[in-house]
Amino acid sequence: MFNSTNYTKCWLNYKAIDAEKVRECFANVILMSADRVAITAAEEYCEHMGAMLDAKIEYSTDIEYEPAVCLQVEEDDDCDALTNQSFYIEKNEDSYAIVGKSGYALLQGVYAFLRMVYLGDLEKIDGQRYEFTPSMPLRIVNHWDDMDGSIERGYSGRSFFYDNYEMFYNDRVEYYAKLMASIGINAIVINNVNVHQNETYLITDRYLEIVRKYSDLFGKYGMKLFLSVNFAAPMELGNLEVSDPLDSDVCKWWEKAIAHVYEVIPEFGGFLVKADSEGRPGPFTYGRTHADGANMLARELKKYGGLVIWRCFVYNCGQDWRDTKTDRARAAYDHFMELDGTFDDNVILQIKNGPMDFQVREPVSPMFGGLKKTNMMLEVQIAQEYTGQQIDLCYLIPMWKEILEFDTFAEGEGSTVEKIVSGKAYGNKYCGMAGVINTGDDENWTGNELAAANLYGYGRLAMDPSLSAEDIAREWIRFSISKEDDIVDDVAKLLGGSWATYEKYNAPLGIGWMVTPHYHYGPDIDGYEYDRWGTYHRADLHGIGVDRTDSGTGYVNQYNEPWRNIYADRDRCPEELILFFHHLPYTYELKTGKTVIQYIYDTHFEGVEEVREMIGVWKNLEGRIDRRIYDNVLERFERQLNNAIEWRDRVNTYFYRKCGIDDAKNRKIFR
CA atoms within 13 A on the CB side of 31: 21
Task: Give per-residue pLDDT as tens, 190-238.
Answer: 999 999 999 999 999 999 999 999 999 999 999 999 999 999 999 999 9
**Where residue 65 falls among pLDDT bands split at 50, 70, 90?**
confident
Percentage with pLDDT > 70 across the chain: 98
> How many alpha carbons lie under 13 Å from residue 524 in its C-beta half-sphere?
15
Using CA atoms, how far apart are residues 75 and 99, in angstroms rounded to an integer? 10
> Which H/E stretch holds residue 295?
helix 290-302
Contact at 8 Å (CB) between 467 and 418?
Answer: no
Domain ranges of the chain: 10-132, 138-467, 505-546+583-659
Predicted pLDDT at 605: 98
Cα within 13 Å of Cα(351), Cβ side:
33
Q: Provide the pLDDT confidence category of residue 81 given band limits of 50, 70 and 90.
A: low
> Exposed, middle or buried, 121 (CB in 10 Å: 0-12/13-18/19+)?
middle
Superfamily per CATH, domain 138-467: Glycosidases (3.20.20.80)
- Confidence at residue 84, expressed as pLDDT on a 0 to 100 scale: 85
186: exposed, middle or buried (Cβ count in 10 Å: 0-12, 13-18, 19+): buried
In this predicted structure, the answer to whether residue 79 has a pLDDT above a threshold of 80 is: no
Q: For residue 492, is pLDDT > 80?
A: yes
Return the minimum-mean-pLDDT range out of 81-90, 306-315, 536-545.
81-90
**Confidence class of residue 494 from pLDDT cuts 50, 70 and 90?**
very high
What pLDDT is stored for residue 29 in this prediction?
96
Of the pLDDT bands very low, low, confident and very high (cuts 50, 70, 90), residue 62 is confident
Active site residues: 278, 357, 385
Among left, alpha and beta (phi > 0; psi -120 to 50; other), residue 546 is beta
Q: Strand, coil or helix: what is 650?
A: helix
Strand order of the β-sheet with 130-132 is 59-60, 29-31, 69-73, 95-100, 87-92, 130-132
| In contact, 281 and 231? CB cutoff 8 Å | yes
Instruction: Tell me the longest C-alpha to C-alpha distance in the chain.
Output: 82
User: According to the CATH classification, is domain 10-132 in 2.70.40.10?
Assistant: no
Average of per-residue pLDDT across 184-189: 98
The overall average pLDDT reported for the chain is 96
Pairing status of strand 130-132 against strand 87-92: antiparallel
Q: For the residues 328-347, what does the mean pLDDT come to?
A: 98
Of 209, 296, 210, the closest CA to residue 248 belongs to: 296
Quote the Cα angle for 253-255-257, to 5°.
Answer: 70
The model's confidence at residue 82, banded by pLDDT at 50, 70 and 90, is: low
Domain covering 505-546+583-659 in this structure, CATH number: 3.90.1330.10
